[in-house]
Structures are given as structure tokens and as C-alpha cells.
């Protein structure tokens, strides 16, 4: 269908064109009073006649432009008035015609590019390792091979986890009356989990991170537990459908691992109650947005006095790698003191067996990802309730995700896989093009900062300094091309292609050791290892580094192409670039200064004005209702992303306008009689064309920090006066409301 469309487009344009325009042409054609193709705009909403160039003079017919045009036309629905609902105007046909594959929970721009990435990485890691190949690349191929060897995984059965479990005292629900309660403590289980490669965070979270108030050094952080099901579900109790499904999953899995069903139903209900209690004493996400409230430094001696139910010096020292130790004078940061106050009481009143069943359930649930199909089939049934997913991914896709570190489980070799990927597939010109866009978009935000009337001069100066010192990481770090550096990094890691679960756990120990070993080392905010995951379709802002990062994986496809007009790139990757820059000044990012230190650099009156503007965004998005689930969005939890979306699209639009002023008007795409400005908005909207399963949408709204894709288009665009002007939207239409929100 697309091929036929392209041929049709070329025939139509060539029949009316003497000299096809190219992307480099700067000549302007005579404006038309009534542009052909006006039927694309229902209800007499049309582009500005004086801005549309004559199709015969100004149409881009390069392969890149023809491909871009076909993608735009495939997605849009011209029966929708763009002033009523620009998301469905831009994405309506995509939403009608796209089916979500059984193994997926959503289809969108990210997943389309992700599918291509998977194919590319598969070709790289499925090759047999050469004898002379650098160790990091052998490791990636060994891991992929271990994952793909289903025959051996089935032969080994549940033995890998049973062996580990027995060495840790066993899972009480399986051991029955032979479980040794007297010889078990939850603190010892945490140490054992650390040693074996499991998470240490089932009861309380332990990590080594950069000190929020002194970003030149690291500190030990203690936080509330990470539960197996999101807090937002667990606090609803066993009456909730999702919690019931989680409980049934626990019981069935215990039975598959060897437990008696009657015993499992009784004992695991008690362990689930402990997990629900952990959730209930945890702080909700709405109350975790104020970083200062989460920064509570104290010495270990003070920690011991406040929370005496743990021998803290011993607890911490056993978790740290060999050669590192602390004493009672060590300063640690406690994120949620109220959690630690309640945790002691909870542990005291909960039977030891229930706690043991809970933590042993967690390691078995983790191990299931890497074991037999019988176990994974039951895991899929639970996943279907939670996310709507109907089938497992093809095995090779799952193994690529595990190898590249982009799967649902946080393990893998992202640096190895990423190094293989960029050497074979990354287009180097994408780096310079993206950097040019970053600089242009940053200049527009600088202009905004200089002009906002509600900001005092002192705060404005600090904001400008923060923006100007924001570091940029594009594509990949140069070190990833240096085999010696890669070999040094992976020196302590070995993978056995015949022992899948054990290899995964080895990687976990390796990663934890690397992280914890940084405790006494000076912070290097440009450390290449921190920016060496290029094979992902995502982008990042780090408040502690004051840096933005755009990995190689996102600099392609719908987001970026050097072979199409700039308005398409500014609408897509430009929007993302602006979004990440603005994160430095959203409700959380604004709490950190130019050096990444948590410090209040806002004068009180300016802060009050900012919070009022943020409140407008909170209320705007909090009043949106998702039609698929009937749920209202959480305006508080999504405010940071929404502020970044609103600022990002504005900055990118202004940057494109400035670029266009300097370089001259760009040609149209064939079959799309829109102005460059209108195409910017179209590109921005189509970046977020997304179709979700209802269960996934519910989970996203309940637990996520991003608004659903529809509102990432409707929200920012309806706040933009320039959009209303470019599409002639009368005031009072849905896309040009009288009351608009604007933070930046």
C-alpha cells in the first residue's frame, strides 16, 4: 500500500512539475490565494494562503521526502477538524488501522524504532564469537546464546533456583515444617541476596549515589522498599482485582516450585499482607517530588539510635564490596524517616515465617524470567491481567532485550551491545545535526528565561547560568569505540553460555560491585560509563549532572532523518530535545543548581509565581479523562513531564522559526499542502501516535509519571498561541481555549 502511495505521489507531482525542488533550494514561489488540497482542512480551516508555496515550484521529491510524506499521510485522518482534536487529526488513521501484536502492550513510534533496533542487534549478537574477538563482545554473544538455548534451560528445569534457595535456607512454604526458623533472620537474607545477585531492596532500599547537596561526592542512601507490585495497587488490599491476580500468581508459582496448595494459600496470604503493610507505610509518589524532604542526612550512630532494630554498621559493611567499610561516624541519607520508624514496628509484629516467605517469593519471581516455559506460561497469565499482553515475545526478541539491557528486567550488557551497534549502524552526521538543534533550542530557552516577566533578576541570572552550563551527550561516548576501555570495564565479569540464570546473577553482582565501589571515589559527571547505553530509544535529563543525553538509538526513524525537511526533525527530535532541556526547570529539576546540588536558589516571590504556573498545568492535566479506561490523569505525578512537554515544544518551534528565517523556506512534502509551520505541528503530534491495551493504559495512569500520548499532544499544543495562529483556529475551539497554561 505504501509503495503504491509513493508511486502515486510521484506521478501526481511530476505531472505538474517542471523542476522538482530539493531540500537545498531557497527560492520562494508565488503565494496562492486558494491552495490546492484545501479539502484536507474540514470546516473551512485552511493554511494561511500567503504562506503556502506553489506545489509546482516547491515540492521535495527526494526518496527521504517521499518516504516521510507517505508516513504522514498513512497516520492522519483528514475527516477530523485540527482545531477540534489535533491528536486524532494527526494520528486518527494510525489509531484505526494499527493492531497491537499479541506479544506487545502498545504500538507507537518508540516501539517501531525499537523493533528495528532489535533486528540490528540480533544480527550482531547471534554471530559465533571469533577466537580473537574482544572479551566484551564475546560476553554479549555468550549471554544471547545462553538465553536462546531453550533445550538446555528446559533440561535444567528449576534446579538452578532450587540450589540457590536451599543454600539460603529454603522457601518456607515449600520446606513446610522442616524450615529452620531459628537460624533465619531477614538481615542475613539481604546479605545472602547481595552475595548471590538478587535485589537487596525487598524490605528497605540500599544504594550508593551522589550526595544531593554535594554533587562532588557519593553517599549511602537508605529508602523505602521496592515492592513486587506497585504501591498504588497494594494499598487497595485484596479486594482489588490486580492484587487478587498477584496473590493467585504467588500461590500458583509456589505450587509449581513444589509447595502444597493449601499451605501456599494460607502462608502466602500472610506474606502478601506483609507486602501490603510495606506499601502502606511507604510514601506515595505525590509526596516524593520535594527532594529536600527526601534528604535527611545522619550518622550511622544516629541511625542506630533512631532505628535500633538493625545493627547498621554490620548490615552496611556486609553489603559493601571487599575493601570498603564504614563506621558509626559515616553519614548516610535517609529518604523517608517515617518509613523506617514504622518498619521496626511492622517487623516486630510480623511472624518471621511470613517475612521469609515474602523475600523468598521475590527471588523466585525474579528467577522465573530465566527458567522453564511452564513457569513462564503462568507468569504470562499474570502479565495479561496486569498489562493485557497476550503472548510472550518471540524468544529471540526477549534474548536481544536481555543482552542489550533494554528488557523488563534490569540486567544485561548494554555497553557491549551498544558498542557493537554504533560501530555497525550509527550515522555519524546525526551527531552534528542533533548538536546544531540542541544549540538552537537552548538559545530559544535562554531567550524565554531573559523575557519571562515573573522572574526576579537574581533568580533569572542563576537560571541562565544553569542553562548555559548544561552538558550535552549525543549518540555515544568516544570511549565506547576503544576495545581496551571496554575490556578493562568488563574484566571482572564472566558468563557461562550453559548457565543462563547463574550468568544473569553474575551480571547483577558485577553491576552492584561497580556501583558500590564508587563510594569513596570522586564524582566524574562526564564519566563515559554513565553515558554508554547508545542502543536505546529514549532521552534523558540528569538533575545531579545538569546534563541532557540523546543516545544513538533515538536519532533515527520518526524522530530524526537528515533526508527530510528540518520542520519534521524540529517537530520530532526537536520536541524531545526541548523536553529534556526543560526538565532542568520543571518542578523537580528546578530544585537543583547549575552544579547539580540540591539548593533553593529561587527568591520567594519568584518561586510563588512559578508554583502558581505549575498549578495551572496540574489542574489542566488533572481534568483530562482517558476515554479507554475512564480514568482521570494524575496531574501531580505527571506535572514534571507535562511542564517539560509544554516548554519543549515551544522552544523547538521557536528554534525552527529562527532556523527558517536564516536559511529560507523549506519545500513541501508531496501530497501535503501544508506550510512548514503546520508540518512542524504535524510531526510533533505524530511522534506520539500510540495505541495502548486498556490494562496497560490503566497501569500507566495509575503508576506512571508520563501522561498518555494523546494528552502529550493535546495538552501542549492547546496551550500554544502559535499553533492556533498557524491553523487559523478560532478562539474558544478545543485547540485554542481562552484559558491557557504556560510555565516557560
Among candidates 550, 563, 574, which has minimal Cα distance to 651? 574
User: What does the pLDDT look like over 59-96, one tens digit per residue?
Assistant: 999 999 999 999 999 999 999 999 999 999 999 999 99
Q: What is the pLDDT of residue 208?
A: 97
**What is the Cα–Cα distance from 570 to 356, expressed in whole angstroms?**
53
Among candidates 685, 687, 682, 672, which has minimal Cα distance to 65? 672
The 8-class DSSP code of residue 711 comes to H
The 8-class DSSP code of residue 693 comes to -
State the pLDDT confidence band at 638, using cuts at 50, 70 and 90.
very high
pLDDT mean over 551-578? 96
- Catalytic pick among 85, 393, 398, 580: 580
580 catalytic, yes or no? yes
- Catalytic pick among 57, 81, 502, 645: 645
How many of the other CB atoms lie within 10 Å of CB of 402?
A: 25
Question: Which string of DSSP letters, residue by residue, matches 128-190?
Answer: PPPTTS-HHHHHHHHHHHHHH-HHHHHHHTTHHHHHHHHHTT--HHHHGGG--STT--HHHHH
**What is the Cα–Cα distance from 565 to 553, expressed in whole angstroms?**
20
| Span of 23-27, 415-419, 544-548, 735-739 with lowest mean pLDDT | 23-27
**What is the Cα–Cα distance from 736 to 81, expressed in whole angstroms?**
13
Could you give the C-alpha distances from 507 to 235, 460, 495, 500, in angstroms and in order? Answer: 33, 45, 8, 11
State the pLDDT confidence band at 408, using cuts at 50, 70 and 90.
confident
192 catalytic, yes or no? no
Question: Which string of DSSP letters, residue by residue, matches 273-335?
Answer: HHHHHHHHTSPPGGGSS-GGGG-EEEEHHHHHHH-TTS-HHHHHHHHSPTT----TT-EEEES
User: What does the pLDDT look like over 486-523, one tens digit per residue?
Assistant: 999 999 999 999 999 999 999 999 999 999 999 999 99
Cα atoms in the Cβ-side hemisphere of radius 13 Å centred on 268 = 26
Q: What is the pLDDT of residue 687?
A: 96
pLDDT mean over 670-688? 97
pLDDT mean over 291-314? 98
The 8-class DSSP code of residue 229 comes to S
pLDDT mean over 150-170? 97
User: What does the pLDDT look like over 528-538, one tens digit per residue?
Assistant: 999 999 999 99
Crossing angle (nearest 10°) for helices 135-148 and 109-125: 110
User: What does the pLDDT look like over 220-261, one tens digit per residue?
Assistant: 999 999 999 999 999 999 999 999 999 999 999 999 999 999
Element of type H or E holding 362: helix 352-368
Cell numbers for 719: 496551550
How many of the other CB atoms lie within 10 Å of CB of 522?
A: 8
Q: For CA atoms 370, 375, 376, 378, give the dihedral sign.
A: negative
Q: Judge contact between 58 and 667, C-beta under 8 A.
A: yes
User: What does the pLDDT look like over 717-744, one tens digit per residue?
Assistant: 999 999 999 999 999 999 999 999 999 9
State the pLDDT confidence band at 35, using cuts at 50, 70 and 90.
very low
Q: What is the pLDDT of residue 57?
A: 52
Q: What is the pLDDT of residue 109?
A: 87
* 275 torsion bin: left (phi>0), alpha (psi -120 to 50), beta (else): alpha
Length of the chain (residues)? 744
**3-class secondary-structure state, position 546:** coil
The 8-class DSSP code of residue 21 comes to B
Q: Which residues contact 324 (CB under 8 A, 6 or more apart)?
A: 516, 517, 519, 520
Kindly compute the dihedral angle of the four CA atoms of residues 359, 360, 366, 370, in this order, to the nearest 10 degrees: 170
**What is the Cα–Cα distance from 376 to 528, expressed in whole angstroms?**
36
**What is the Cα–Cα distance from 60 to 82, expressed in whole angstroms?**
24
First-to-final CA distance of the chain? 42
User: What does the pLDDT look like over 590-618, one tens digit per residue?
Assistant: 999 999 999 999 999 999 999 999 999 99
- Residue 53 scores a pLDDT above 80: no
Tell the burial category of 139 from Cβ atoms under 10 Å away from its Cβ (0-12, 13-18, 19+).
Answer: buried
Strands 547-551 and 540-542: antiparallel
Crossing angle (nearest 10°) for helices 429-451 and 457-469: 180
pLDDT mean over 211-217? 97
Element of type H or E holding 550: strand 547-551
Among candidates 298, 292, 238, which has minimal Cα distance to 268? 238
Q: For CA atoms 101, 106, 109, 114, give the dihedral sign.
A: negative
* 196 torsion bin: left (phi>0), alpha (psi -120 to 50), beta (else): alpha
Domains in the chain: ranges and CATH: 172-370 (1.10.1380.10)
**What is the Cα–Cα distance from 739 to 354, expressed in whole angstroms?**
54
Amino acid at each position: 500500500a505504501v509503495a503504491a502511495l509513493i508511486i502515486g505521489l510521484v506521478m501526481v507531482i511530476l505531472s505538474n512539475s517542471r523542476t522538482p525542488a530539493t531540500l537545498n533550494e531557497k527560492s520562494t514561489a508565488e503565494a496562492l490565494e486558494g491552495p490546492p488540497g484545501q479539502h484536507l482542512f474540514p470546516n473551512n480551516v485552511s493554511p494561511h494562503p500567503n504562506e503556502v508555496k506553489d506545489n509546482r515550484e516547491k515540492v521535495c521529491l527526494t526518496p527521504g521526502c517521499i518516504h516521510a510524506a507517505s508516513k504522514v499521510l498513512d497516520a492522519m485522518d483528514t475527516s477530523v477538524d485540527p482545531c477540534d482534536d489535533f491528536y486524532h487529526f494527526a494520528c486518527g488513521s494510525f489509531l484505526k488501522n494499527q493492531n497491537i501484536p499479541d506479544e506487545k502492550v502498545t504500538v507507537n513510534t518508540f516501539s517501531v524504532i525499537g523493533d528495528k533496533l532489535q533486528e540490528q542487534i540480533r544480527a550482531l549478537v547471534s554471530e559465533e564469537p571469533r577466537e580473537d574477538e574482544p572479551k566484551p563482545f564475546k560476553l554479549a554473544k555468550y549471554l544471547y546464546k545462553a538465553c536462546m538455548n531453550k533445550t538446555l534451560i528446559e533440561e535444567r528445569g528449576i534446579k538452578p533456583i532450587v540450589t540457590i534457595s536451599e543454600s539460603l535456607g529454603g522457601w518456607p512454604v515449600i520446606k513446610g515444617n522442616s524450615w529452620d526458623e531459628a537460624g533465619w533472620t531477614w538481615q542475613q537474607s539481604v546479605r545472602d541476596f547481595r552475595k548471590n545477585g538478587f535485589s537487596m531492596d525487598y524490605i528497605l532500599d540500599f544504594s550508593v549515589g551522589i550526595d544531593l547537596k554535594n554533587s562532588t561526592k557519593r553517599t549511602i542512601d537508605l529508602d523505602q522498599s521496592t515492592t513486587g507490585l506497585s504501591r498504588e495497587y497494594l494499598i487497595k488490599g485484596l479486594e482489588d482485582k490486580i492484587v487478587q491476580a498477584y496473590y493467585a500468581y504467588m500461590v500458583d508459582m509456589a505450587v509449581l516450585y513444589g509447595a502444597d496448595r493449601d499451605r501456599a494459600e494460607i502462608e502466602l496470604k500472610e506474606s502478601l499482607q506483609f507486602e501490603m503493610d510495606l506499601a502502606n507505610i511507604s510514601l506515595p509518589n505525590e509526596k516524593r517530588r520535594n527532594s529536600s524532604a527526601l534528604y535527611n542526612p545522619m550518622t550511622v550512630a544516629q541511625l542506630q539510635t533512631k532505628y535500633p532494630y538493625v545493627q547498621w554498621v554490620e548490615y552496611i559493611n556486609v553489603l559493601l564490596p571487599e575493601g570498603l567499610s564504614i563506621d558509626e561516624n559515616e553519614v548516610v541519607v535517609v529518604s523517608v524517616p517515617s518509613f523506617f520508624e514504622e518498619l521496626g514496628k511492622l517487623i516486630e509484629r510480623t511472624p518471621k515465617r511470613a517475612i521469609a516467605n515474602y523475600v523468598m517469593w521475590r527471588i523466585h519471581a525474579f528467577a522465573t524470567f530465566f527458567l522453564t516455559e511452564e513457569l513462564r506460561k503462568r507468569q504470562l497469565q499474570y502479565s495479561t491481567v496486569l498489562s493485557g499482553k497476550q503472548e510472550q515475545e518471540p524468544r529471540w526478541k526477549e534474548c536481544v532485550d536481555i543482552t542489550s539491557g533494554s528488557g523488563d528486567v534490569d540486567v544485561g550488557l548494554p555497553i557491549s551491545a551498544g558498542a557493537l551497534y554504533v560501530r555497525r549502524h550509527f550515522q555519524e552526521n546525526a551527531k552534528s545535526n542533533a548538536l546544531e538543534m540542541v544549540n538552537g533550542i537552548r538559545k530559544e530557552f535562554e531567550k524565554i528565561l531573559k523575557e519571562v516577566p515573573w522572574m526576579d533578576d537574581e533568580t533569572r541570572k542563576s537560571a541562565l547560568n544553569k542553562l548555559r552550563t548544561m552538558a550535552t551527550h549525543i549518540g555515544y561516548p568516544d570511549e565506547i569505540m576503544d576495545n581496551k576501555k571496554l575490556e578493562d570495564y568488563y574484566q571482572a565479569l564472566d558468563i557461562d553460555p550453559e548457565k543462563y540464570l547463574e550468568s544473569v546473577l553474575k551480571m547483577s553482582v558485577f553491576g552492584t560491585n561497580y556501583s558500590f565501589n564508587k563510594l569513596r571515589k570522586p564524582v566524574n559527571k562526564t564519566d563515559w560509563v554513565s553515558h554508554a547505553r547508545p542502543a536505546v530509544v529514549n532521552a534523558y535529563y540528569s538533575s545531579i549532572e545538569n546534563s541532557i543525553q540523546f543516545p544513538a538509538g533515538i536519532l533515527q526513524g520518526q524522530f530524526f532523518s537528515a533526508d527530510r525537511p528540518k520542520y519534521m526533525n524540529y517537530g520530532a527530535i526537536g520536541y524531545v530535545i526541548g523536553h529534556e532541556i526543560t526538565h532542568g526547570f520543571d518542578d523537580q529539576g528546578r530544585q537543583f543548581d547549575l552544579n547539580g546540588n540540591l539548593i533553593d536558589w529561587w527568591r520567594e516571590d519568584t518561586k510563588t509565581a512559578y508554583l502558581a504556573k505549575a498549578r495551572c498545568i496540574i489542574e489542566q492535566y488533572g481534568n483530562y479523562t482517558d476515554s479507554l479506561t475512564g480514568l482521570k490523569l494524575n496531574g501531580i505525578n505527571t506535572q514534571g513531564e507535562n511542564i517539560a512537554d509544554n516548554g519543549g515544544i515551544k522552544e523547538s518551534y521557536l528554534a525552527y522559526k529562527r532556523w527558517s528565517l536564516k536559511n529560507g523556506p523549506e519545500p513541501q512534502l508531496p501530497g501535503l499542502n501544508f506550510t512548514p509551520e503546520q508540518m512542524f505541528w504535524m510531526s510533533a503530534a505524530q511522534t506520539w501516535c500510540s495505541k495502548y491495551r486498556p490494562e496497560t493504559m490503566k497501569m500507566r495512569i495509575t503508576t506512571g509519571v508520563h501522561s498518555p500520548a494523546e494528552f502529550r499532544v493535546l495538552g501542549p499544543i492547546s496551550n500554544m498561541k502559535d499553533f492556533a495562529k498557524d491553523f487559523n483556529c478560532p478562539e474558544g475551539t478545543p485547540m485554542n481555549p481562552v484559558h491557557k497554561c504556560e510555565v516557560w
